[in-house]
Chains A and B, each alone.
Chain A
Amino acid sequence: MPASQSGDAAKTGVAAGAPSAAAPTHRLVAIIGAPNCGKTTLFNRLTGLRQTVANFPGVTVEYHVGKAQLPRRHDVELVDLPGIYSLNARSEDERVSQAVLMGQMPGLRRPDGVILVLDSTNLSRHLSLAAPILALRLPTLIVLNLADDLRKRGGNVDTGALANELGAPVVLVSAATGEGVSLVARFLTGGIAVPKPVELPVIQDVPACRQWARDVSRDAGYEHPAPPVWTRRLDSVFLHPAWGPLAFLLVVATVFQSIFAGAQPLMDGVEALIGASGSWLRGQLPDNWVRSLLIDGAWSGVGSVVVFLPQILLLFLFIAILEDSGYLARAALIADRTMSKVGLQGKSFIPLLSAYACAVPAIMATRTIENKRDRIATILIAPFMTCSARLPVYTLIIAAFIPDRPFLGPVFRTRAAALLGLYLLGFTAAVLTARLLKSSVLKSERAPFVLELPPYRLPDPRSVGLRLLDRAKAFLKRAGTVILGVSVLLWILASIPPGKAGAPPIEESLAGTLGRAIEPVIEPLGFNWKIGIGLVTSLAAREVIVGTLGTIYGMEGEDNTAGLQAALQRDLTLGGAVALLVFFAFAMQCMSTVAVVRRETGGWTWPLIQFAYMGTLAYICAFAVNKLLG
């Protein structure tokens, strides 16, 4: 920890001077800056793969920590704090950043230094964040990022003069190209000279602070760059009254088509891999209950979820590219009008679209929504969107109960119409729920909808890659914990009490007993105990019911899909079949979603409310449908 050179403690706002005196001890440095200033790109440059994600206790704000890649004797850990405009603690992000910088965040000690990242292409605007940060009197390096952009657009700044004005070292950096990053590393190892500390005014008032920022940047010879010409040109297309919505639809269609169809070969590949490795493992192990637990329980259970990894990664690849290029903000702007009609906002659009693939990544994608209530409302309605895990269930029931006849013309047939109807059903439930939420418990705070449109930029492949890795890790971690646990539990339920030849007949197992126990509850919906077991097992993941029913009816593999359909036709009335479809459209039959909602909302309250709400709605609607049709 370097000694503070600030002389008079009574005069606040004196920039603390020296960076470290090359102390080889472990140090913690916080990276802070406004949104879209390239803070995370710099963090990725400095840490590379040596970073992890963590959640601050009690809040939903996530942060990354990583070891800086420095010469061996230096041990510096970096914390990437959320993007903020000020330290006024208006938003959760600002409260968290402030708490960390003051050393009041439980579980994280006070940083020994700060790297303040400012957008050099708009310095007079962003410099106002320097006043409250420098007033903290932590050793601070001021990084003027996007230097390449500044130069290209004909801007200029005298870093030496600015350093003297601020009393803190200033470096001009381009995190995207790597220019100047070595200077940041030198700051971290204590090799950067520090100008004489100066007294900075204490500014509470926002206009006065902006004026100070303008004065300082002028005195430092800041020449404002020309407006970003390409951004203006692209916006005149992407936000054009006619071309804009067209481009928007094209982007949406591409994303939708890719996560649906494009991911399929990859998913088939992963599925084949899991199947093959499971068979291989089966051949290697002796035939006993351990093998059954490992393969029929754990392996196939976790496998049924890991199959979705390619889809999730593809979705996040799109989101990362859209976000980093600047288009996501334009998409939010275009979607805002429509989304506001149900009380939501433009930034909810992409997460909700993603939920058609899978609610889990969709809920993770809500992190781009800063307004907390809008974010929770989006999380709560996302599982109503028809995710791909519902498809196997829908396909099975529709094929068994809906005759294949022409509906609207020869191409659009009854079965496709039924499937589309189920998509619309989920969508309607989502819209009505959003209205309900936004007019009651989640009525928006007074915070207005504010959206900054950053200049378009080429996405940095390194940052995109690191984010994909991040998401993959989070997803696999859950598959390896929650899903593994549920799979093993289900295997146990289906395996005890053990029969003469290993596993008992399903109706005599604990799962069968359980199915029969809930039969009185589901009987009004038109379901028997076998469907009941399916409902219980599908809590792990919706499509599990297909496998479960296959097992219960004594069939295996895809060859017997027709047999399974025939069995269902015997066991279900039309009313019961439609009720089952409606039940699956509404119920939150997905432990992964429950787990991710708990993680993202920071507690059990919201996932439990959501589970109860969706379950009740599913039960009532399935009941009504069964009575009407039965």
Chain B
Amino acid sequence: MKRSRRSFLQLAGVSALGLGLKPAAGLFAASGGHGRAPGEKVLKSEKALKAKQWAMVIDTRKFESAEDLEPLIEVCHKIHNVPSMKDKRHEIKWIWEEEFEHAFPTQELRFLPERIAQLPFLTLCNHCEHPPCVRACPTKATFKREDGIVLMDFHRCIGCRFCMAACPYGSRSFNFRDPRPFIEEINPDYPTRMKGVVEKCNFCAERLAVGRMPACVEASNGAITFGDLEDPESEVRALLRENYTIRRKQALGTGPAIYYIV
């Protein structure tokens, strides 16, 4: 009797384990998609802006001081419900300013023109062509879309912060506490986040979907240009043809989609 009870318990243990593993059964078959049911379709608006790889060219010559950058940062953080945390450790930022030596820490700094050494640079997610964060994420909560945008699924993120360790640009923020009390005015058109998930710039995917340019681009008075990197006729390609541009930490092979004219 004793023996059978024990073997029953052992069997029950193994079965419970089997139940836990069941979802992994379809593992490699399903690993390509993003968990969409077969036959399910996502319809795009006719107005939606499309591209093969969205990219941004920032003409830093058109910015003079931090004051010129502030409206861009403000509008982004406002429409995306980015909280302003009092504790710097818990800071959330999608787009922010850095000095040259921090935005480009691997670049030679000693004999820079004064203008560049003192100019604040806009920094945001680079929406890399080969994003290390997407490689690291264990749940596909962060993924690269067909149009090159690196997006976050706030509802799938388990908050392991592997993507933050992987990002060489410090572009990601983590909600160390509930952000909602720290949002001055909630924009109902965009979701707020909960504690314990990672977030970052989304290249205004929600605006592109309805045919509008990213908010920072709109607010930049022409200093930022946004367009398709793969389209030779695009405005960004024209700028890249005519100007010498730099990208952040290019040697890492991530292929940042943010170009700076200096």
Q: Do A and B come from one complex?
A: no
Residues in chain A within 8 A of chain B (CB atoms): none
Residues in chain B within 8 A of chain A (CB atoms): none
